[in-house]
Amino acid sequence: MIEIDDLSFTFPNGYKALNGVDLTISDNEFIALMGENGAGKTTLIKHLNGLLKPTRGDVTVDGVNTKRASVASISRKVGLVFQNPDHQLFCETVREEVAFALRNFGHKEDVISQRVQWILQTLDLSQYADSSPFTLSGGERKRVALASVLAWDPKYIILDEPTIGQDYLQKDRLRNFLLQLTSQGKTVLIVTHDVEFVAECKPTIVLLSKGKVVGQGPSEEILTNPEVVDRCSLTLPQIAQLTRRLEPYGADKKIIDVYSAISEVKRLIRRHR
Amino acid sequence: MRTIPLINVEDLSFTYSGASAPSLQNINLRVDRGEFVILTGLSGCGKTTLCRCLNGLIPHFYPGQLTGKIEVAGLDVQHRQPHELARYVGLVFQNPENQLFSLTVERDLAFGPENIGLPRAETRRRVEEALHTLNFEQLRHRAPYELSGGQQQKVAIFAVLTMQPEVIILDEPTSFLDPKSAHEILELIHQLNREREKTIILVEHRLDLASQYADRVVVMDKGRIVLNGPPRRVYSEKAYLIGIGVPKLTLLFNRLRKDRLHVRGNPITVEEAYTRLVEAIARD
């Protein structure tokens, strides 16, 4: 469990990015942290592995206060994948990149090569194992950054804007992969403003606005509430806009994903026959 | 009289130096003045490479083997320098942080015109006009990094626009922005297309939001153009099969028809989908 208690953070230039955040991330939860550009989302997740330490308040990871632990020790549990993969990648080949942290944590070579092979395959990167990360496309580099974190099997997996630059097929794979991780008992937190992606994976949403948590709940509740969504510069997913319009005809306006919408519309058309 | 297209690409193939396979293969593409074209396809399909060919970054900065013809506004791209082409083709990047680098918004807007050697008075006029259009007069002395993501992307677009290019190529310009700012940017691009008749090439994966503004969607796969036509025609089941993210509304309608429910049209906006579904629900 990660507990965030009255967390405030002020940058050295005086800018107050977080202002009294209270949030509990339970084990095996799947959370989407959403909010406008500049809401404080990235600043918040940098507190979860101790990269930033609170100006006021506390963050504890499985009972350990991040103020009293090194980033290296917290990182074994909390894997953070940055938004810009170029802030993270530095090795000569994709294989070395993914093996780097595993070596650092002192794993044996056969364990390392096994894990590397597994994760490259899972994220559709095997064919690039011996390429330099910098010859890959933006979307592919992002997957390498993700692979390099997942390789050491952290309990908490934090992803900053994982869908940026990913095509539809990769997003679909990412969605399945995140759901698979949660089914394996991992705790997953994504920072995103991709409402269409969230509507298809339906995590718990935590809304951050101007450095404060302003809402929390199931995707179907949050993403169908126009006032709440607007306040955080989000929009209703297209399907939610449609089911909302169709409510007078008997549609369930809490439907936000396309597959539920297909059955709902079928039901409506058949009922009226 | 046959009109001359603004962009004319004939039998273009390109292989990056050191690469084993070509990134572009036999590309033929004509874009007329004032068109709004979405360029889409899976990661690595050659979208970015094609854009680099249109503004001369290929072959001038990215060496490789190029065959075929690329003409923009009547200029042969292979025999013109990128700075000459910058007057005709502007490129806006995905992340505005990679494009803006001056200490103030005003300086970023002036950089392009100064670089192509415009007189001081003309540069000033264009910068003022840009600040006025964006309603950013108050922000002129602010550092770009102090602005919100949406504001930064607006400045990045106008930093290109101050060179008054005929074609603006935007490489996923909304992907770093929250949905509200993304909507504002798309509206702004739409406005530049309609009111200033700028030719727009928008590279985009997220077709749900952008489709309604486009005259044409071009789909690439493995270095080739595989579909090219108006959005409604392109978003067929076939497009879905090669893995592009057809708008969810299109997916919804395709599925309903597959299950033999009678719904008309191929909507790309919520309003259209609503109207068509109400027709279907209220029928008989």
Q: How far is CA A42 from the centre of its chain?
A: 11
- Residues near B271 by beta carbon (within 8 Å), at least 6 away in sequence: none
In this complex, the residue of B247, B255, B284 whose CB is nearest that of residue A262 is: B255
- Please indicate, yes or no, whether residues A243 and A266 belong to a single structural domain of this protein: yes
Domain annotation covers residue B223: yes
From A97, A125, A153, the end of a domain falls on A153
Same domain, B19 and B37: yes
Cβ–Cβ below 8 Å for A245 and B270: yes
Position A82 in a domain: no
State the CATH number of the domain containing residue B217: 3.40.50.300
A51/A69 same-domain check? yes
Q: Are residues A147 and A162 in the same domain?
A: no
Residues B13 and B65 in one domain: yes
Is A193 close to B177, i.e. CB distance below 8 A?
yes
Q: Peptide bond before A133: cis, by omega within 30 degrees of 0?
A: no
Residue of A nearest to B270 (CA): A242
Q: Is the same domain home to A266 and A177?
A: no
What whole-number distance in Å separates Cα of residue A117 and Cα of residue B152?
40
> Considering the entire predicted model, what is its pTM?
0.87
State whether A3 and A64 are in the same domain: yes
Chain B: nearest CA to A176, how far in angstroms? Answer: 16
Q: What is the CA radius of gyration of chain B?
A: 20
Concatenated DSSP letters for chain B? -PPPPSEEEEEEEEEETT-SS-SEEEEEEEE-TT-EEEEEESTTSSHHHHHHHHTTHHHHTS-EEEEEEEEETTEEGGGS-HHHHTTTEEEE-SSGGGT--SSSHHHHHHHHHHHTT--HHHHHHHHHHHHHHHT-GGGTTS-GGGS-HHHHHHHHHHHHHTT--SEEEEESTTTTS-HHHHHHHHHHHHHHHHHS--EEEEE-S-HHHHGGG-SEEEEEETTEEEEEE-HHHH-SHHHHHTT----HHHHHHHHHHHTT----S---SHHHHHHHHHHHHH--
Q: What residues in chain B have their Cβ under 8 A from chain A's Cβ atoms?
A: 41-44, 48, 94-95, 148-150, 172, 175-181, 183, 205-206, 208, 243-245, 247-249, 251-252, 255-256, 259, 261, 263, 270, 273-274, 277-278, 280-284
Together in a domain, A21 and A52:
yes
Nearest C-alpha in B relative to A256: B248
Shared domain check, B235 and B251 = no
Task: Kindly state whether residue B257 falls inside one of the protein's structural domains.
Answer: yes
- Residue A134's pLDDT is 80
Please give the full DSSP string across A122-177, using - where no structure is assigned. HTT-GGGTTS-GGGS-HHHHHHHHHHHHHTT--SEEEEESTTTT--HHHHHHHHHH
Query: Is position A267 within any domain?
Result: yes
- Do A261 and A140 share a domain, yes or no? no
Q: In terms of domains, do B218 and B258 share one? A: no
Does one domain contain both B221 and B256? no
The reported pLDDT for the residue numbered A6 is 97
- Looking at the structure, tell me whether residues B217 and B252 fall in a common domain: no
The reply to whether B67 and B36 lie within a common domain is yes
Q: Decide if B149 is inside a domain.
A: no
Domain-terminating residue out of A103, A130, A153: A153
Closest partner CB to B248 (pick from A139, A239, A265) = A239
ipTM above 0.85, yes or no: no
pLDDT at B240: 58
Below-50 pLDDT ranges, chain B:
1
Q: Say if residue A2 is in the same domain as residue A50.
A: yes
Same domain, residue pair A37 and A13: yes
Q: Flag residues of chain A having pLDDT under 50.
A: none
Q: Which residues contact B78 (CB under 8 A, 6 or more apart)?
A: B59, B66, B70
What is the distance, to the nearest Å, from the Cα of residue A155 to the centroid of all Cα atoms in its chain?
14
Determine the structural domain holding residue B78 and report its residue range.
1-88+204-239
Is residue B11 in a domain? yes
Same domain, A147 and A96: yes
- Report the alpha-carbon distance of residue B194 to residue B36 in Å, rounded: 9
Q: Which amino acid, one-letter code, is at B120? A: R
In chain A, which residues have their Cβ closer than 8 Å to the Cβ of B257? none
A247/A136 same-domain check: no
Task: Kindly state whether residues B56 and B8 are assigned to the same domain.
Answer: yes
Same domain, B268 and B231: no
Residue B48 lies in a domain: yes
Residues B6, B67 within the same domain: yes
- Nearest CB partner across the interface for A245, out of B180, B252, B274: B274
> B170 to chain A: which residues are within 8 Å by CB?
none
Q: Compute how many other C-beta atoms are within 10 angstroms of the C-beta atom of residue A83.
A: 20
Residue B275 inside a domain? The answer is yes
Q: Testing the interface with B: which of A15, A33, A37, A86 to mutate, by most B Cβ within 10 A? A: A37
pLDDT of residue A3: 97
Structural domain total, chain A? 3
Going edge to edge, which strands form the sheet with B216-221?
B89-92, B167-171, B199-203, B36-41, B216-221, B224-229
**What pLDDT was estimated at residue A209?**
94
- Domain residues for A107? 89-153
Query: Hey, of A137, A167, A232, which one would you mutate to test binding to chain B, going by the most B CBs within 10 A of its CB?
Result: A167
User: Is B130 among the domain residues?
Assistant: no
Instruction: Identify the CATH number of the domain in which residue A201 sits.
Output: 3.40.50.300
Do A66 and A110 belong together in one domain?
no
Whether residues B282 and B209 fall in one domain: no
Task: Domain count for chain B, please give it.
Answer: 2
